[in-house]
């Protein structure tokens, strides 16, 4: 008999997600370190990053969060009938999605081929050619997202979160082996390796998913009634996420127009900003959606609200610590990770500006994930779509203003991303009629922010005095500064939160439930 979902069970699932995601992000950090060391912020590698954004458009449309949002509530409904019924839904969906992906990739390759031959710019020719090499890999990564959604519904959170380790491992090997080659040839081999990396990640989830499903009862049906049930939320998700991803692709274009090396600075910055987002925010939202769906299915409104409120509180505590940590330790972290080889001190400073701008949106970005999960559990997709489209519209307008009007350079994209995420949160919160954002929550939020801000300011000043205005290039000095100042910041934030009886350190380890 399956145990009831509680805030503690969500945290327990999130811990599994956290462990897998930690492995994934550490390997991803190793990948980015290898890229920075081998290629720095060279225009060729910036072109590769723009191409990666363009090729990944279909990945975001037909994979990851969009597939999970449409799959999980339907799967949980079928699972309430029988495990065999749920398995049949997965198989039919997998078969139909494969057909759609093949058609979509063919269209994508055709469009990229046309753009490659139409443009007169050698820089953009290179970008479109690289994107074409990456395109076939989208088949594997989108099916990997479906496999991960299945495993999460079956309370298997570690493997879906850890599967990108295989992807990153292939990428790292490709970066190291291609580094001695001429830059244009090196990035071409990197693009080809991306497709192989996507296939490796799919294989990591496919074997476990097939094992969990057991023997097949019948032949899978193409575009069955189950597919039609899935198509509505998928279509609405495509509208909202599609706008976001088109905007993301435009981000890379805006950044390249603002600065030829701009896409590289944004890439390295967002990889750091997304580390806490993935470790805690995505872990909580991924663990939250299945139990929220079960609470809605059983008609338990109280449990639904308790789960959502607890997740918002936990994510707020963790993300505030990370946000203020970005502001006081971000430069030291960038210098430690990337400040070697071809990555200069000027590159460190340019990346730090982008990281600070992205850091402003860290807390609202996590709230967006959790509030959207609240809608998806109810099979309500209209409000998240409207919120997403509205934030995208604001983001594009701010991009144009900051780049062409204010002339802020690559940091413009990071800043407009953070500002637009605030609008997204406001619209989602309004749609849920304030569920989760109660007066006790905001009291906790402000106290936690104060506990982080005070030590962050002190650590920043101490770091400035220690460095003397220059980032060191030797690894021992980099490690010493980061380790000592990180310890002081965590000690200060933890001590103040303990003094104020907030107890954020125990959130992932408490054994008894408590709703405040």
pTM over 0.75: no
Sign of CA dihedral 295, 300, 306, 312: positive
The predicted pLDDT at position 491 comes to 94
For 50-75, give the DSSP string: HHHHHHTHHHHHHSTHHHHHHHHHHH
514: pLDDT confidence band, cut at 50, 70 and 90?
A: very low
Token pair 């002081």 is found at 488
pLDDT digits (tens, 9 = 90+) for 230-288: 666 666 555 555 555 555 666 767 777 777 777 888 888 988 888 888 777 776 777 77
CB 31 within 8 A of CB 190: no
How would DSSP label each residue in 76-114? HHHHHH-HHHHHHHHHHHHHHHHHHHHHHHHHHHHHHHH
For the chain, what is the mean pLDDT?
81
Going from N- to C-terminal start, the domains of the chain cover 7-506
Average pLDDT over residues 348-364: 93
Q: How far apart (Å, rounded) are the C-alpha atoms in residues 247 and 238?
A: 13
- CA 428 – CA 375 distance, rounded (Å): 9
pLDDT exceeds 90 at position 154: no
Task: Please say if the pLDDT value at position 106 is more than 70.
Answer: yes
């Amino acid at each position: 008999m399956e145990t009831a979902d509680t805030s503690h069970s969500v945290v327990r699932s999130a811990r599994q997600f956290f462990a897998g995601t930690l492995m994934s992000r550490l390997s991803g950090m190793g990948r980015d370190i290898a890229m920075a060391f081998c290629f720095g912020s060279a225009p060729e590698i910036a072109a590769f990053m723009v191409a990666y954004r363009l090729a990944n458009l279909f990945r975001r449309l037909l994979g990851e969060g969009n597939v999970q949002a449409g799959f999980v509530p339907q799967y949980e409904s079928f699972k309430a009938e029988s495990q065999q019924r749920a398995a049949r839904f997965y198989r039919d969906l997998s078969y139909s999605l494969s057909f759609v992906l093949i058609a979509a990739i063919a269209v994508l390759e055709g469009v990229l081929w046309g753009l490659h031959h139409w443009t007169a710019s050698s820089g953009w020719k290179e970008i479109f050619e690289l994107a074409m090499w990456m395109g076939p890999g989208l088949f594997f990564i989108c099916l990997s997202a479906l496999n991960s959604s299945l495993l999460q519904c079956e309370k298997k959170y570690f493997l879906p979160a850890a599967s990108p380790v295989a992807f990153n491992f292939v990428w790292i090997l490709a970066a190291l082996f291609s580094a001695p080659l001429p830059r244009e040839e090196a990035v071409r081999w990197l693009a080809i390796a991306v497709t192989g990396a996507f296939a490796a990640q799919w294989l990591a989830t496919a074997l476990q998913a097939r094992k969990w499903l057991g023997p097949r009862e019948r032949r899978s049906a193409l575009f069955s009634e189950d597919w039609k049930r899935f198509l509505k939320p998928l279509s609405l998700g495509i509208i909202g996420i599609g706008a976001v991803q088109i905007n993301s692709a435009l981000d890379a274009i805006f950044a390249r127009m603002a600065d030829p090396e701009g896409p590289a600075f944004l890439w390295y910055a967002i990889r750091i900003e997304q580390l806490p987002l993935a470790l805690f925010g995505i872990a909580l939202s991924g663990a939250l959606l299945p139990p929220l769906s079960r609470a809605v299915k059983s008609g338990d409104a109280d449990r639904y609200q308790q789960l959502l409120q607890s997740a918002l509180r936990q994510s707020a505590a963790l993300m505030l610590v990370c946000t203020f940590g970005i502001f006081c330790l971000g430069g030291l972290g960038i210098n430690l990770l990337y400040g070697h080889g071809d990555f200069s001190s000027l590159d460190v400073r340019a990346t730090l500006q982008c990281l600070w701008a992205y850091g402003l949106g860290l807390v609202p970005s996590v709230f967006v994930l959790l509030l959207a999960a609240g809608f998806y559990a109810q099979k309500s997709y209209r409000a998240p779509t409207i919120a997403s489209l509205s934030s995208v519209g604001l983001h594009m307008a701010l991009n144009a203003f900051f780049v062409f009007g204010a002339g802020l350079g690559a940091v413009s994209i990071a800043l407009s991303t953070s500002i637009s995420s605030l609008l997204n949160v406001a619209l989602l919160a309004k749609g849920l009629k304030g569920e989760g954002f109660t007066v006790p929550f905001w009291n906790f939020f402000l106290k936690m922010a104060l506990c982080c801000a005070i030590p962050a300011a002190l650590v920043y000043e101490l770091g400035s005095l220690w460095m003397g205005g220059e980032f060191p290039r030797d690894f021992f000095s980099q490690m010493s500064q980061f380790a000592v100042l990180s310890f002081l910041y965590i000690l200060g934030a933890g001590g103040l939160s303990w003094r104020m009886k907030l107890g954020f350190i125990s959130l992932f380890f408490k054994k008894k439930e408590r709703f405040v």
